[in-house]
Chain A
């Protein structure tokens, strides 16, 4: 498959374990954040979002945590499955609902061992 990054941080986990993917964002004025998943040969796929007035949001098997003090986001995936293997990107929106520009992190490659 295609590689989206030659030197991405890599996280390797056992199937069934929980995964935590971290991201540091750059702009303290950013007020909206999104996690995307990109599988080989595909475009990024929306996973979950969070606004800056929240510090936690849960979805199906995923939780996003936001720490504005240290400008840090994390994505927790519960009971990781082989289908979760992909590159995960965090993205920040520096101008909430005023512009379509998203600033993406470098990505983390998640590898799930069966």
Chain B
């Protein structure tokens, strides 16, 4: 099976802009979670989607949003970008029917906000 695919791999934006990141989960995985990784804060949970519905949310401002499509692909959006949003954004998928919360990660999208 192909792994989790994230596009684009790199993005450069300026403050105030918005950005959309995309994630295709492993085939058959219907749950997609997003994480932000920074040197200062480490890996932090953003949100999880399952069956096109947000199931769980981390402690991030409303500028961070996401959605999931019927084919389980997911996008996350960050509006009104701030310098502090520069980070590696990771998407992970899991098979909820497996009975385990093993999340499989993509390579991430590196966002730089100038």
* Contact status B43-A3, CB under 8 Å: no
- Total number of A-B contacts with CB less than 8 angstroms? 74
For A49, list chain B residues within 8 Å (CB): 100, 102
27 of the cross-chain contacts (CB-CB < 8 Å) are A4-B37, A4-B39, A4-B88, A6-B39, A6-B40, A34-B101, A43-B90, A43-B92, A43-B106, A43-B107, A44-B43, A44-B90, A46-B103, A46-B104, A96-B101, A97-B100, A99-B55, A100-B48, A100-B55, A100-B56, A100-B92, A101-B33, A101-B45, A101-B58, A102-B45, A102-B103, A104-B44
Mostly, the B contact residues are strand
For A32, list chain B residues within 8 Å (CB): 100-101
In the complex, whether B94 has a CB less than 8 A from a CB of chain A is: yes
Contact bitstring A32-58, B, C-beta under 8 A = 1, else 0 = 101010000111111001000000000
Within the complex, the shortest CB–CB distance from B94 to chain A, in Å, comes to: 6
Contact bitstring A86-101, B, C-beta under 8 A = 1, else 0 = 0001010100110111
> Number of A residues whose C-beta is below 8 Å from B?
30
| Chain A residues near B (Cβ < 8 Å) | 2-7, 32, 34, 36, 41-46, 49, 89, 91, 93, 96-97, 99-107
Bound-state Cα–Cα, A9 to B103, Å: 24
Given A43-B90, A99-B55, A100-B48, residue A107 in contact with residue B105 (CB < 8 A): no
In the complex, whether B108 has a CB less than 8 A from a CB of chain A is: yes
User: Of residues 16 to 63 in B, which have CB atoms within 8 Å of A's CB atoms?
Assistant: 31, 33, 35, 37, 39-40, 42-45, 48, 50, 55-56, 58
